[in-house]
Amino acid sequence: MDHQNTHSVSVAGVIIDDQGRALLTQRRDNGHWEAPGGVLERDEDIITGLLREVREETGLDVEPVTLTGVYKNMTRAIVALVFRCKVIGGHLTETDEARSFRWVTADEVRTLASEAFAVRVLDAMRNDHTPAIRHHHGTRVL
């Protein structure tokens, strides 16, 4: 196998509340606002990884509602699967990975998050049942 041509797969959960707002987490490592998520471990399935990542970063237990998009970071060779989710338990808790949380409107998403991450949240906030397929170079959508 040519390891220069391998990809990693990440998952993210865009948690939507009853008011139609999305939960953003502020990462401890770089201060960026994003939906909770991260890289799948080699031996875990997609949904198990999604539930683990959201729980690790927020303290919340969620239920995935639908796949809302597939995104590829062309620079870092990461494919991200993004799901709209709803809270089914737990409590928002600061973690080693997230230092702050905000429930935000679509306009606030555009202000807080970089374009490449904002579009994931905005796609999940739409009531469209067709997943978006997009690619970017880390910050800007192509």
How do residues 92-115 score in pLDDT, each as one tens digit? 998 999 999 999 999 999 999 999
pLDDT in tens, 34-92: 999 999 999 999 999 999 999 999 999 999 999 999 999 999 999 999 999 999 999 99
The 3-state secondary structure of the chain reads CCHHHCCEEEEEEEEECCCCCEEEEEECCCCCEECCEEECCCCCCHHHHHHHHHHHHHCEEEEEEEEEEEEEECCCCEEEEEEEEEEEEECCCCCCCEEEEEEECHHHHHHHCCHHHHHHHHHHHCCCCCCEEEEECCCCEC
pTM: 0.94
